[in-house]
Amino acid sequence: MKIAFIGAGYMTEEHMRAFADHPDADIAGVFSRTKERALNIGSKYQSAIIADSIKNLYDFTKADLVVISVNELSVRQVCLEAFKFPWACLIEKPAGYNMEDAEIIVFAAKKSNSKAFVALNRRHYSSTRQIHEDLKNHTEPRVVHVIDQENPQIALEGGTSKLIVDYWMYANSIHIIDYFNFLCRGELLNIENINKWEPDEPFYVLSKLKYSSGDIGIYEAIWNGPGPWAVSVTTHKKRWELRPLEELRVVEYKSRKPYLIEPHHWDTEFKPGLRLQAEESLKMLRGEVHQLPTIFDALKTMRLINKIYGI
């Protein structure tokens, strides 16, 4: 399978490494507005051509899949161009810097009948997949507790565009809020925003989510303050905790001592989640059952962010 890339930054290089490790994947080509950067990362793969445009990238490679890893403000323009060609698209998150931008991208994908997926790589962590598998044996209601921590002020000081920072919950909180959409079952009935988002003085956000299955979601976020990213799932018989997200600890009922489940070696040899994500991408291209999140799955998470933050 031929894999092409749009963008030539850090994430593109990490995606390339993950795909290059798969025996059925061929690094076919790369396009970037900064040709020097494209030459720099493309030169590591003998089979990669360096294209002058997205059209040339497709014409020269006839790639089966294109991985899009560009600045948040460029995603829409790049996607609309990429959707013109019959390759599948794997878009680095977020697929849209805010709600309106995401809706436009999804509409364009639907209109062009594109196979579009989003690289929500935390779904592919071995720690996350282990929880998902274990939960199949636990039918009772569960509490999913997500703790978020964001530093938009530091991002702004580091040169990130103010427009991206204004919608930082889409650019970065998507990583952690997405856990609700694949760990909670049933339809989302309502959200109670207990401590609401204050854009002028952001600090603490607290929301409670209720699902038709009986599952409960608890979202906490600390803005411009210290705190971990953490996820826990609790049932009557077992508790699973990710802190950090790459590490899974489990506590059984009537025990207070957690035990660690070691991560898969892919999550230490590659950027966590990316190697399995490449595996799922190849399954998708072969027409096999896969767990690659679609652009509609990503839009569902964007809409959940909108309901929590009201922006």
- For 250-272, what is each residue's pLDDT tens digit? 999 988 899 999 999 999 999 99
| Helix ranges (DSSP H) in the chain | 10-20, 35-42, 54-61, 75-82, 99-111, 126-135, 152-157, 162-166, 168, 174-183, 266-269, 274-285, 295-309
Residue 208's φ and ψ, nearest 5 degrees, are: -120, 130
Same domain for 179 and 66? no
For the beta carbon of residue 284, count every other beta carbon within 10 angstroms: 21
- As given in the structure block, the two tokens for residue 68 are 């899009």
Specify the pLDDT at position 254.
86
Same domain for 95 and 144? no
Under a CB-based contact definition with an 8 Å cutoff, are residues 234 and 222 in contact?
no
Residue 112: pLDDT band (50, 70, 90) is very high
Residue 253's φ and ψ, nearest 5 degrees, are: -60, 140
CATH number of domain containing 130: 3.30.360.10
Same domain for 204 and 164? yes
For the beta carbon of residue 179, count every other beta carbon within 10 angstroms: 25
Q: Which of 98, 119, 140 is the last residue of a domain?
A: 119
CATH number of domain containing 71: 3.40.50.720
Specify the pLDDT at position 255.
87
Q: Give the SS3 label for residue 268.
A: helix
Domain count, the chain: 2
Closest CA to 59 of 11, 17, 4: 4
User: Residue 66 domain-assigned?
Assistant: yes
Same domain for 128 and 259? yes
d(CA 125, CA 4): 23
Q: Average the pLDDT over 15-23 and give the result.
A: 97
Specify the pLDDT at position 227.
87
Residue 104: pLDDT band (50, 70, 90) is very high
User: Residue 245 domain-assigned?
Assistant: yes
Closest CA to 177 of 301, 300, 306: 301
Q: Which residue range forms the structural domain that includes residue 196?
A: 123-266+295-309
Same domain for 49 and 137? no
Residue 290: pLDDT band (50, 70, 90) is very high
User: Residue 211 domain-assigned?
Assistant: yes
Residue 107: pLDDT band (50, 70, 90) is very high
138-183, pLDDT tens digit by residue? 999 999 999 999 999 899 999 999 999 999 999 999 999 999 999 9
Same domain for 150 and 78? no
Residue 224: pLDDT band (50, 70, 90) is very high
Closest CA to 183 of 150, 205, 209: 209
